[in-house]
């Protein structure tokens, strides 16, 4: 009976240590991810380490004892490497996109789910009611296509949007045609069509009020998302 009680007490202590370590690792990941003086690469490393530690500690806690600490350490190391490599590659592409679009009004941002997003304003993209590319956008897409050819593992998603002028049927069709036009342009310049997904959102996702001409202009836009395929950087044919 005494041996059984000792074993039960030891298991309970190990479980409590595992819960504490998981909580600490979670808090650390959140704290590091929010440090303003970190660059994208450093935040990716910190987030990867924290998430890896949480996962490793959780798995270790289920087996009890020293496995909790060991699991957290292994998970943190693996997560830090994965987060660093991902962020480094994406950060390089972000900087390249910023240089290629400098002075054009195109906004290049990193999304919370680690995609690169290019917001292309209407004044350089499409005229009202048209799916034909403006010359300014052609210049941007030309450089964009070159960057995609240099990074053959990157996948692309093009999303077209409209303002609220016209019917839903018309705007849904127009937004998709705009995305298709961008894909066709990139394909003509050597980017495989299989890498490019397109979607049309019509007027359903405005970023400004449609009550003013300025707001409607902001809503007539194209967004381009870049991401790595699942499993990391690779070649997509």
pLDDT at 202: 94
- For 163-202, the pLDDT digits (tens) are 999 999 999 999 999 999 999 999 999 999 999 999 999 9
Give residue 17's pLDDT band: very low, low, confident or very high (50, 70, 90).
Answer: low
Q: Is 195 or 51 the better-scoring residue by pLDDT? A: 195
Residue 132: Cβ within 10 Å count = 10
pLDDT at 74: 52
Domain 103-227 bears CATH identifier 3.30.950.10: no
| Of the ranges 50-59, 60-69, 119-128, the best mean pLDDT one | 119-128
Give residue 34's pLDDT band: very low, low, confident or very high (50, 70, 90).
Answer: low
Look at the pTM and tell me if it is higher than 0.85: no
- Tell me the domain boundaries of the chain: 2-88, 103-227
Give residue 230's pLDDT band: very low, low, confident or very high (50, 70, 90).
Answer: confident
* Displacement of CA 124 from its chain's centroid (Å): 24
Give residue 2's pLDDT band: very low, low, confident or very high (50, 70, 90).
Answer: low
């Amino acid at each position: 009976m005494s041996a059984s009680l000792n074993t039960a007490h030891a298991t309970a202590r190990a479980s409590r240590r595992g819960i504490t370590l998981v909580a600490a690792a979670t808090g650390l990941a959140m704290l590091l991810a929010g440090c303003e003086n970190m660059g994208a690469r450093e935040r990716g490393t910190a987030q990867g380490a924290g998430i890896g530690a949480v996962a490793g500690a959780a798995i270790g806690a289920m087996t009890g004892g020293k496995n909790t600490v060991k699991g957290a350490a292994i998970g943190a190391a693996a997560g830090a490497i994965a987060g660093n490599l991902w962020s480094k590659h994406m950060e390089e592409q972000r900087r390249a996109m910023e240089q290629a679009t400098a002075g054009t009004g195109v906004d290049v941002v990193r999304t919370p789910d680690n995609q690169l997003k290019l917001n292309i304003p209407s004044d350089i993209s499409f005229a009202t009611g048209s799916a034909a590319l403006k010359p300014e956008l052609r210049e941007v897409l030309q450089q964009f296509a070159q960057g995609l050819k240099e990074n053959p593992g990157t996948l692309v998603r093009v999303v077209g949007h409209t303002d609220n002028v016209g019917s839903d049927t018309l705007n849904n069709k127009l937004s998709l045609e705009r995305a298709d036009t961008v894909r066709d342009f990139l394909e003509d310049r050597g980017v495989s069509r299989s890498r490019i997904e397109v979607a049309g959102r019509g007027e359903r996702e405005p970023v400004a009020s449609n009550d003013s001409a300025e707001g409607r202009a902001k809503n007539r836009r194209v967004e381009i998302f870049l991401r790595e395929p699942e499993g990391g950087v690779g070649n997509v044919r």
